Amino acid sequence: RPTTRRIHRRKKPGTMMYGQGYPQGHPGVGGYAQPMPPYHDMAYPQHHSQQAYVQHPQQQPPNGVARAAVGSTAPASKSGLLSVVIKPDEMGEWYNCVYLIPHEPIRQWCLDMETYVVNNDSFDAVAYPWKMDNFFRFYNEYFYDVVHHHHDTEENLVNPWFSSKGINTPNKLEADHVVLMKYLDGVKDFERQYRTMTSPTAPVVAGKATAERVRELTLSLKRHLADMCKAMGPHLAEEEQYYPSQMRDKVSQAEWDAFEPRIIKKLGLKGAEQGLPHIVACMQRWNPAMVGPFIEKLPGPIRYLFNTRWQPKYHNYCRPLLEGLTGDRPPPPYQGSGCCTIS
């Protein structure tokens, strides 16, 4: 008689299947029919915002850790918005959202690096070598690529399209990208120095022990990160002062909606995995009502990967890379499945 063959996916030991590894309240594969809880705020120090956040008991900042006073952004308003240009009662305008969506995540990561690296006395690569490794992992796998892709998209896709609509790019904003890329590449230079310095075959430097050189390098890295974040904030603010008003006057929302899929396509799978979960987590802070419609606009395959793979990896791997830098032991290894994920 005819039989039906049932195919099961075999679960490998230590892997995460659908629906596992999500923060409490996450709806899993079924989408976001209910408002998402503020995942992004669960483990963050209260100084990140005037809102009261629920903090993870094992990820409290050590004494003396405070937000760096480097002027990268203002503290979040009561609405959760980090922008110093766009006001809470203006953030619902479509032309403002165009810039808040990519800028708020960058600002948040700058605040995080100030908190968990720059102003964290326990970020000591001599006592805790794994902290330097985890920071560079976060920087290389997430921050660098996301910011670099954002600038590349502006220069090679968005700004030429703006030009066709009569919106010119100020020379200063173009020049800022060159400066910011030097800062971004500079962090990679620090990593190369650190790897060389701590290599078993590293040359001996007369009069200086390796530990002393590593501590000096760590302090220099912290200063560089503080300077980078200090330069990033004003640049993002200047873009928000100029472009949204130009878009309001010269581009219709329908025209932008037709153009926007080209940006998503340019992301590619890797870029979408690196950036979309953090975008959504930050959006939950500054405009929770946008989260559902934003996810629904994603192409079906991207939305599926976001719900089943990228979102849990963000919470269980990306965030602990930074937030775990306040502890004395590294976070446990990420045990998620490698299927349909990049890296």
In a domain, 82, yes or no: no
Q: What share of the chain is helix, strand, coil (3-state, %, to 5)?
A: 60, 0, 40
Q: What is the average per-residue pLDDT within 277-281?
A: 97
Does the pLDDT of residue 14 top 70, yes or no?
no
Q: Establish if 17 belongs to a structural domain.
A: no
Read off φ and ψ for residue 168, nearest 5 degrees. Answer: -90, 150
Structure token digits, residue 13: 């030991």
Length of the chain: 343
* CA–CA gap between residue 234 and residue 237 (Å, rounded): 5
Would 15 be classed as within a structural domain? no
Is residue 68 included in any domain, yes or no? no
SS3 49: strand
Question: In which domain, by residue range, is 316 found?
Answer: 88-326
Give domain status of residue 343, yes or no: no
More confident residue, 14 or 282: 282
CA dist., res. 256 & res. 247, Å (int): 9
What is the tally of structural domains in the chain? 1
Query: In this predicted structure, what is the pLDDT of residue 124?
Result: 95
**Could you report the per-residue pLDDT of 191-203, keeping only the tens digit for each?**
999 999 998 877 7
SS3 for 12? coil
Is 322 part of any domain?
A: yes
Sign of the CA dihedral running 171, 176, 181, 182? positive
Which two structure tokens, joined as six digits, stand for 189? 């230079």
Average pLDDT of 320-331? 95
Structure tokens at 19: 């629906």
CB atoms within 10 A of CB 336: 19
Query: For the segment 83-133, what is each residue's pLDDT rounded down to a tens digit?
Result: 999 999 999 999 999 999 999 999 999 999 999 999 999 999 999 999 999
Q: pTM for the whole thing? A: 0.77
Amino acid at 182: K
The owner of tokens 């705020």 is 41
- The chain-wide mean pLDDT, for the chain, equals 80
